[in-house]
Amino acid sequence: MSDCNPMRYKDFELVDFLVDEFFILWVKNPDKNTQHFWEKWLIEHPEKRKIVMQAISIIRGVRYKDGEHLSDSAYIDIFENIISADKEKVKFGRGFLNSDKNNIIKNIAAILIFGFCAWMGYYHTFLYPEPAPVSNKTFVIKRTTPLGSRSLITLADSSKVHLNSSSEISYPSDLGTSNRWVKLKGEGFFEIKKNGKPFTVLIGDTKIEVLGTSFNVKVEENKLSVALMTGKVMVKDQKGNQVSLYPDEMLVMEKSGNLYKSDFDTLEVTGWKDNVLVFESDNFENCKKKIEAWYGVEIILKGKIRKSWVYSGTYINESLENVLRGVNITSGLKYKIKNRKIEMFN
């Protein structure tokens, strides 16, 4: 389209994407350049992801029987013919309207595109019901939880991921139909829906392979731990180690290369997903880390803590004040709260 003041993609609405040649080319015939551009653009403009996915769905809605083929150039020609209409007058009844051509053409283009896609969808759904091949070009979706919060994410295949504080997962947009993988940073509890296709959790060079199961994964600076609740998982690393886990087993893989299995306390390891904060003979440093991550605060220690200091306690949906009060009553450690900073002292 040749406007004097061309719109920027960040200002595009659904119909604008549907008639944009560069966008259509990427959806129908992606290459390295278009793929790189749109992936980077979506990362910078996450607010447009929903509209972009709608546009992709509409454009991909034109499906063909095996053996039939509409070339990419022919497909784009259809849209170019629509777009070229903005160089001519648009007739309505007895008269002609010259401008605002932009809005008129966009509306007409949207109607024609939706109509065309609807007809082709009907034609190939009812006359040629063979499934269309799934494109191997996908978006990578990222979901994060900030410090002091937790979230529940339902994936396209109905699997669920509980994401702990300061954690992140990345997964493909077509996870429900083909690629079943997730990249994890931080901590997540997975409830994997069994559908006959393997599901893989990627943590650096380590893979956790499952079919249908529930398990907790925690990535720390010096180790990785996988605690299995139900089902069975296989953990593989870059060194060729392969370890099978069964319910109530936890695998710990240290950065030094050591790995071992152990039992685990279910509430202590997975209670966080149900808003249960557990301290189990934690030293001050571990206690501090848990409170900071759970409530999104910073703890500053004034003075020294004895080496033998430990704390145990269980809190269900408790406020920060009540947790600090519990620490004070049990260990004698006093505290002051100033905004998001907490001073603790003897």
CATH of the domain at 247: 2.60.120.1440
Residue 331 lies in a domain: yes
Q: State the pLDDT confidence band at 49, using cuts at 50, 70 and 90.
A: confident
Instruction: Return d(Cα 180, Cα 175) in angstroms, integer.
Output: 5
- Residue 137: the pLDDT is 58
End-to-end Cα spacing for the chain: 71
Residue 204 has pLDDT above 50, yes or no: yes
Residues 61 and 151 both lie in one domain: no
Q: How many domains does the chain have?
A: 3
Tell me, yes or no, whether 2 lies in a domain: no
- pLDDT exceeds cutoff 80 at 34: no
Examine the pLDDT at 154 and tell me if it is beyond 50. yes
Domain edge (last residue) among 245, 268, 291: 268
What's the confidence (pLDDT) of residue 89?
A: 35
- Local structure of residue 271 (DSSP, 8 states): G
Q: Are residues 44 and 156 in the same domain?
A: no
Taking 80 as the threshold, does the pLDDT of residue 161 lie above it?
A: yes
Check whether residue 255 and residue 145 sit in a common domain: yes
The reply to whether 148 and 261 lie within a common domain is: yes
Residues 93-121: pLDDT tens digits? 333 334 444 555 555 555 555 555 554 44
Please say if the pLDDT value at position 3 is more than 90.
Answer: no
Residues 144 and 264 in one domain: yes
Whose CA is closest to 1, among 102, 73, 90?
102
Together in a domain, 172 and 82 = no
Range of the domain at 298: 275-345
d(Cα 81, Cα 331) in Å, to the nearest integer?
77
Q: Is the same domain home to 320 and 341?
A: yes
In a domain, 189, yes or no: yes
Give the CATH number of the domain where residue 317 resides: 3.55.50.30
Tell me which of 93, 126, 159 is where a domain ends: 126
Same structural domain, 234 and 170 = yes
Show which of 101, 126, 151 is a domain's final residue. Answer: 126
> What's the distance, CA 132 to chain centroid?
25
User: Ranked by mean pLDDT, which of 66-75, 95-104, 105-114, 315-324 comes out on top?
Assistant: 315-324
**Contact assessment for residue 168 and residue 144, using Cβ atoms and an 8 Å cutoff:** yes
Is 161 in the same domain as 55?
no
Please tell me the pTM assigned to this model: 0.58
Say if residue 341 is in the same domain as residue 303.
yes
Nearest to 179 by CA among 159, 151, 164: 159
Q: Which of 6, 240, 28 is nearest to 132 (CA)?
A: 28
Quick one: pLDDT at residue 117?
Answer: 52
**Is 9 or 311 the better-scoring residue by pLDDT?**
311
More confident residue, 319 or 36: 319
